[in-house]
Structure 1
Amino acid sequence: MREAIINPIVEQRADPWIMRHTDGYYYFTASLPDFSGIPLRRAQTIKELTEAEEQIIWTKRPTGIMSANIWAPELHHIQGKWYLYFAAAREDAIFDHRMYVLENSAANPLEGDWIEKGQIKTWRESFALDATTFEHEGHLYYIWAQKDPEIEGNSNLYISEMKNPWTLIGPQTMIASPKHPWEKIGFLVNEGPAVLKRHGRIYVTFSASATDHNYCMGLLSIDETENVLDVTRWKKHPNPVLTTNEAISEYGPGHNSFTTLTDGTDILVYHARSYKEIDGDPLWDPNRHTYIRPFTWQGELPVFEKSLANEEVI
């Protein structure tokens, strides 16, 4: 019998990432409200993550690169080692982000040493963030958001094969840019990609628009037999798949990840606020909390059903 889980599961943690590893533990990381470092906790159930001890495994540098606005860390286990991908700016340019990665060879990522592997270099030096990785047919791929100064807007989504967990190789393909009205409210944004492989397809959810109540989730997909580096094979769902729901006081849902329960139930992990009106720039509002919900499928389309905030969701 499942334990009841109450939303939000972790308060003041935006851009949440939860993964269930083969060691039987769930691992959780997210953006801190002051964007000062990278938190990490683990537990044997999702419910226990709420009270699990949290360690700050890496802290921003005092000056220079990686010295400001540490955003959206993700933990991945690749080729027997742990990798933490994140974006960081500089104290003299707090919104000029680049992407970086840390490596840890310990069995437990809360132990051992985190080694800075450096910046993930892309086709040009410009605003870049929100990296994720996935393996497919023996190859490692990297998906991220980046600004192209020649394209209107803040960020588009790109994919590249990886030579190793810190180096891109081969073509870097743009697979999505803001086109629909719901992707262009406040800012023209496609960011926060998360990968899910199901039913013979590869799905990539992403977040769009400004980080207030207009923030929402979109969906890309491709048949798993297609070339993932071919932009013509990716299909964008015309409507958002998760949006603000005022009836349950859930505002600006987005920047998600995926995990599963031990019984195989698919779980959406995302952040949202419990109120609409924000004083000042929403980026500095600390109350983006971590929520979860199970989701189902209608044919090949995932359905991210809206469960009640502050009610049992599992």
Structure 2
Amino acid sequence: MRFKFRFSFLNPLLLAALLGCSNSGSSTAPAPTPPIPPPAASTTYTNPLLSTGPDPWVYQKDGFYYYLHTTGVNVTIWKTAKMSELSSAASKIIWTPPASGLDSHNIWAPELHFLDGKWYVYFTAGPGMCCGGQRLWVLENPSPDPTTGSWTEKGQIAVPGQDLWAIDGTVLEQNGGRYLLWSGQEANSVQQNIYICKMSNPWTLTGPRVQLSHPQYAWELNGYPKVNEGPEVIQHAGQTFLTYSASHCSTDDYALGMLTASTTADPMDVNAWTKSATPVFAKNTANHAYGPGHNGFFVSKDGTQNWLIYHANSNANEGCGNARNPRMQPFTWNADGSPNFGTPVAIDTPLPRPGGE
């Protein structure tokens, strides 16, 4: 009886304890599921930046990059905080040509510059008779952001008294002066040369013009006509470097040449410039870079890197059309202060993004 009594007494207690454990377990909320972390931001990009984009140009201001390239039919600006994300950048058409007239066709190589508190775009256009009528034109916008506000066409920019073929305008500022550089021709010639002329304001040349470079080395003489075009400027270590594109764009041998002068020299003095006898940036067939050229320059967001932007074809014999696509890569400086652009990097290969991106 004693044994039976004790069992009967303990059994309810044991049962209550078991029930208590059971109730306690059922009333406790399940542990929350840890949140799935967002994917890590990519630290790389790949070339090409876009599927098409001949004659690329970049201008930096107020934390943004403004990108342009030849569309053939209008002037469009892309705006982005990160060049590595150009493919997702918003774009805006800022100017559409008239249906007819001297600037109605073949809209090429637009460049954006901020001068005297306003935005200016220098572009090439013609009346549509193939390419023979190409001239340089200027747009102006006083808005702080070039993708907003109104653009006004200031008209053709040309040497007074001359009406000669001209393309690929860019601006050089040196010794307190401002100069236009472009690719032009002599009368009764189709050869393209690099010219310079002093500017009295962002849309007016004062003349005369001076020829700084013409096709002369074997690597500049591929294709027809003979070509020096796409002048661009970068200054470093007391020197002004003028890159240009040589040989015709229809060939795979389109490449970058370079002129060098002191930043204190008179840029209108042809004797102040020294021309490199070999190209400074040329094709790399293994990396699918055919005819690399018509470049621009920009600095990474963190200010630590210099970058080259340029176009190239991804395959041989693709010529001067829309197959040309924009690419970018960092470059360094040689011991003498000159730029070292290296060789075109491979397409479709992950590369480190510009510093700060």
What is the TM-score of this pair, normalised by structure 2? 0.82
Gaps of 5+ in 1: none
Offset of residue 93 of structure 1: 5.0
- 1:5-84 to 2 correspondences below 5 Å: 5-21=45-61, 23-32=62-71, 35-84=72-121
Per the alignment, in what secondary structure is the counterpart of residue 209 of structure 2?
A: strand
Distance in 2, matches of 1:3 and 1:16, equals: 23
Offset of residue 189 of structure 1: 0.6
- 1:204-283 to 2 correspondences below 5 Å: 204-211=242-249, 212-262=251-301, 263-278=303-318, 282-283=319-320
Distance in 2, matches of 1:13 and 1:114, equals: 23
Distance in 1, matches of 2:323 and 2:129, equals: 26
Runs of 4+ in 1 over 4 A off after TM superposition: none
Aligned to 1:311: 349
Offset of residue 309 of structure 1: 1.9
Higher helix share: 2
What is the TM-score of this pair, normalised by structure 1? 0.93
Offset of residue 39 of structure 1: 1.2
**8 Å contact 1:68–1:94 — kept in the other structure?**
no
Distance in 2, matches of 1:288 and 1:168, equals: 32
**8 Å contact 1:294–1:313 — kept in the other structure?**
no
Offset of residue 59 of structure 1: 1.3
Offset of residue 86 of structure 1: 0.4
Offset of residue 204 of structure 1: 0.5
Percentage of matched positions with identical amino acids: 36
What's the CA shift string for 1:243-302, capped at 9, x where partnerless? 111111110000001001023311001000100033xxx33x321000001011112321
Per the alignment, in what secondary structure is the counterpart of residue 113 of structure 1?
A: coil
2:156 to 113, 116, 119: 119
Distance in 1, matches of 2:98 and 2:280, equals: 37
- 1:141-220 to 2 correspondences below 5 Å: 141-149=179-187, 153-187=190-224, 188-211=226-249, 212-220=251-259
Structure 2 CA distance for partners of 1:3 and 1:139, relative to 1, 3 Å = farther
Per the alignment, in what secondary structure is the counterpart of residue 279 of structure 2?
A: coil
Per the alignment, in what secondary structure is the counterpart of residue 197 of structure 1?
A: strand
Distance in 2, matches of 1:207 and 1:2, equals: 33
Higher strand share: 1
Distance in 2, matches of 1:108 and 1:83, equals: 12
Aligned to 1:140: 178
